[in-house]
Structure 1
Amino acid sequence: MPAAVPAGALPADVSAVQRRTVLVLASGQVLGGLALGATISLGALLAADISGDDALSGLATASLTLGSAALAVPLAALARRRGRRISLSSGMLIALLGVAVVIAAASVRVFPLLLVGFVLVGSGTAANLQSRFAAADLATDATRGRDLSLVVWATTIGAVLGPNLVGPGEAIGAALGMPPLTGPYVFTIVAQLLAIALYLLALRPDPLVLAAKLRAAVADDAGTRTMTHPDRPALARFAIFAVAASHGVMVAVMAMTPVHLLHHGATLTVIGLTISLHIAGMYALSPVFGVLADRLGRQATIGIGQALLFASLLTAWLWSEVSAAVTVSLILLGLGWSAATVAGSALLTEATTEPLRTRRQGRSDLTMNLVGAAGAVGAGVVLGWIGYSGLALVAMLAVAAVVAGLVLVRRRARHAA
């Protein structure tokens, strides 16, 4: 089956498989988000406690990001060889091992071992990112954005619930004799075990394997394989760039917002609300952008994402001293990221032929994570140099680069036509 087929081209039974696949992947995202939500919320606290230095607390999140980047390509390669079912469950299994290492490191209070554990936990993030591509394996042109966005949206549930389990988790951990700050990982372990079982047992038939088999079976009257879309490497490269640049802008500004607000007198309650609304912007409306990507086109929706990102950065630049304005800016930032990520991921999938798809998808996730890590590090330097308003202006350069790339690919498409 070609990765991109006309609307209505899938047989009824394959359409039913796709609906079931999206449901399984969305359920896995809830479990994965739940597991990682507790992990991320405690990472900085554990790093500061074990290292004895608050300045090293950020290394926990950095290790998670680098782990996700490092494992993105191997997991994509595993999907290419064995299918999504094995790849996704393996990613969660590695993350489960990472949680065990984190708990052991907290017990013996060895900081380097803790960071190794968080690198392994990053495999769970890589698996969660791969899930959105798995939702597109059997999708049609008319539903690819929607199906992909539904899986992205499911992350909202776990991301919201995970941090709220810290209190109950600490009580459970104390009863079990676990090291301080590791009790909530009980929920992480349970969620990851359930996710592994879900992928292994319910993700049947494997969407990537089935897509490859159907693709091989489709032949025209001349006996040659039918390919609805040719491979378009330039368009695929633009999709990777658009997703990575948008992610870098989001991470850079989001990472520095709590520091900026705190330095300007905002309470922890206001900071927490701002970040919560930002996360809601990232995930809650992703199905809307999925539908827009299907109806208006992937490139048009990427353009909408850049407009939202620009509006966010303009707000942060003009009213950086106003807490309410910064909150609005963070909401717009999340919405822009969502539009660009959903549409860019759909564009990458349909711009790439099936034999090359998982390789490019892994490369996209690798690039996305590396740019995010670099954005977080660089944002701290820029914030100290020219402040929050200056950071917003610098981030606008990335938005401008994506818009320029969008204009270029559209111009090339018109000339090719």
Structure 2
Amino acid sequence: MLNKDSVKALDVQSTWLQDYVNSPEKQKTLYKRTLFVVSISQIFGGAGLAAGVTVGALIAQQMLGTDAYAGVPTALFTLGSAGAAWLVGRLSQRKGRRAGLATGFILGGIGAIGIIFATLLNSVFLLFLALLVYGAGTATNLQARYAGTDLANAKQRATAVSMAMVFTTFGAVAGPNLTEAMGKVALAMNIPALAGPFILAAVAYILAGLVFYIMLRPDPLLIARAIEERKQKADKQGRTKTFVPTTNKKGVTVGATVMILTQIVMVAIMTMTPVHMKHHGHDLDEVGIVIGFHIGSMYLPSLFTGILIDKIGRTAMTIASGFTLLSAGLVAAMAPSDSMVLLVVALSLLGLGWNLGLISGTAQIVDATEPSTRAKTQGTIDVWIALAGASGGALSGMVVAQSSYAVLSLSGGILSLILIPVIIWARGGAEENKIKIDQGL
């Protein structure tokens, strides 16, 4: 039974909630504020995720003494991100974006601290365990993109995702280029140099979590859900002709498939690039430059891709993603091992193709779901994306060990072409989706 204080608190919550539900102006202001908060957190989140990409494979190579399992760190933190995606999605569904995103980022920071201790103790077991927890930061960094879409209309959704992602660029590009500097910081603290980037990751992820916990008030998902409930209630009472969207299973399937395929291709090629470069005489600074361009290309094009996806359409940009990833695989496969320029071009194309696929796929998921179940669905889909990335990371080392980096790159490029028949199949439901878009839902 609720006491008087609890009843009073619920009344206060109901009052401010209704203020937002009844005021389009307040919704617009909150939408802009949410994008600002997400953008700030993504700067820190981008710096955190770059550590695992840049030196994770190198730490495993050093500890295990073989290239065959160099893809395991990426597989592990990607696998960890799968579990975290499920957790963050369910927590967001129950408590709102603030609780889910803050928890996920702080867990990622704890995982980064665990990796530092693993290198100090030279413990492979602790390294693998910490990498699983570190993956929570990767999952949360991706799920944060959804927060900006909660109060966006259909013609703003891809743009909202891109606004969140573009700010990831600042941290994501800075992270790899601070590899050498953070290595010196680590050495000054009597920590192995390769663990240096994870010092940055620990601080960055925890700061990102605190930004969400402190600043994401009121919660945009809770407001969106209340708005949807009011529309449904009004429709039942016959006061309005409001169209109530339902989950479009075909749209969800297509959006998920697009993101899963792009994730497999991107992770597989990206994971083995630092190892390939180290084998051919490139130093850590050069690895950082190539990965920096790659991660920059994953996020910086969001300045334009979100707008293009909203204006040109999800279908056209998904096809563009497939051809861009194919180009990346071809360039990486044919590039001379000592050519920094061609490696930069290949990894930049890889990042751009991933960007096009992720934003168009995300927009399709938001189009196909409703606020009452959206966070749970998004979390579930991100689980499959993470598992796909884990598979790509784990298999990439084995493919290279048994054949070559060129074979891996070419295989990834060819795999990306599957996006085209998938999106053609999806066009069967295009007219239905167009109706929803035109109605601004």
| TM-aligned CA deviation for residue 373 of structure 1 | 2.0
- Checking the alignment, whether the CA contact within 8 Å between 2:326 and 2:416 is kept in structure 1 is yes
**Which residue number in structure 1 is paired with residue 48 of structure 2?**
35
| TM-aligned CA deviation for residue 114 of structure 1 | 2.1
Counterparts of residues 156-235 of structure 1 (less than 5 Å) = 156-170=169-183, 172-173=185-186, 182=195, 185-218=198-231, 219-220=234-235, 222-223=238-239, 226-235=242-251
| TM-aligned CA deviation for residue 72 of structure 1 | 0.8
User: SS of the counterpart of 1:204?
Assistant: coil
**Which residue number in structure 1 is paired with residue 4 of structure 2?**
none
- 1:213-267 residue CA offsets vs partner (Å, 9 max, x unmatched): 1111222460579445332101111100001101111222233344555666767
Percent identity between the aligned chains? 33
Q: How many residues align?
A: 407
**Which residue number in structure 2 is paired with residue 368 of structure 1?**
385
- Name the TM-score, length of structure 2 as normaliser: 0.82
Counterparts of residues 126-137 of structure 1 (less than 5 Å) = 126-137=139-150
- Checking the alignment, whether the CA contact within 8 Å between 2:71 and 2:395 is kept in structure 1 is no
**Which residue number in structure 1 is paired with residue 422 of structure 2?**
405
Structure 1 counterpart of 2:320, from 298, 304, 307? 304
1:273/1:178 Cα in 2 relative to 1: closer, same or farther (>3 Å)?
closer
- Checking the alignment, whether the CA contact within 8 Å between 1:26 and 1:154 is kept in structure 2 is yes
Structure 2 unaligned spans of 5+: 1-21, 436-441
RMSD over aligned CA atoms reads 3.0
| TM-aligned CA deviation for residue 395 of structure 1 | 2.7
**Which residue number in structure 2 is paired with residue 4 of structure 1?**
none
| TM-aligned CA deviation for residue 376 of structure 1 | 2.7
**Which residue number in structure 1 is paired with residue 370 of structure 2?**
353
| Counterpart residue identity of residue 146, structure 1 | T
Which shifted more, 126-135 or 213-222?
A: 213-222
| Counterpart residue identity of residue 348, structure 2 | I
Query: In 2, distance between residues paired with 1:149 and 1:169?
Result: 29
| TM-aligned CA deviation for residue 401 of structure 1 | 1.9
Query: In 1, distance between residues paired with 2:43 and 2:264?
Result: 24
**Which residue number in structure 2 is paired with residue 78 of structure 1?**
91
Query: In 2, distance between residues paired with 1:222 and 1:147?
Result: 33
User: SS of the counterpart of 1:231?
Assistant: coil
The yes-or-no answer on 1:328 pairing with 2:341 is: no
1:195/1:394 Cα in 2 relative to 1: closer, same or farther (>3 Å)?
closer
| TM-aligned CA deviation for residue 161 of structure 1 | 1.9
1:239/1:10 Cα in 2 relative to 1: closer, same or farther (>3 Å)?
farther
- Checking the alignment, whether the CA contact within 8 Å between 1:246 and 1:398 is kept in structure 2 is no
| Counterpart residue identity of residue 224, structure 2 | A
Structure 2 counterpart of 1:247, from 263, 266, 285? 263
**Which residue number in structure 1 is paired with residue 302 of structure 2?**
286
- 1:269-292 residue CA offsets vs partner (Å, 9 max, x unmatched): 665543332222211111211001
Structure 1 unaligned spans of 5+: 1-8
Query: In 2, distance between residues paired with 1:66 and 1:188?
Result: 18
Query: In 2, distance between residues paired with 1:268 and 1:171?
Result: 12
- Name the TM-score, length of structure 1 as normaliser: 0.86
**Which residue number in structure 1 is paired with residue 65 of structure 2?**
53
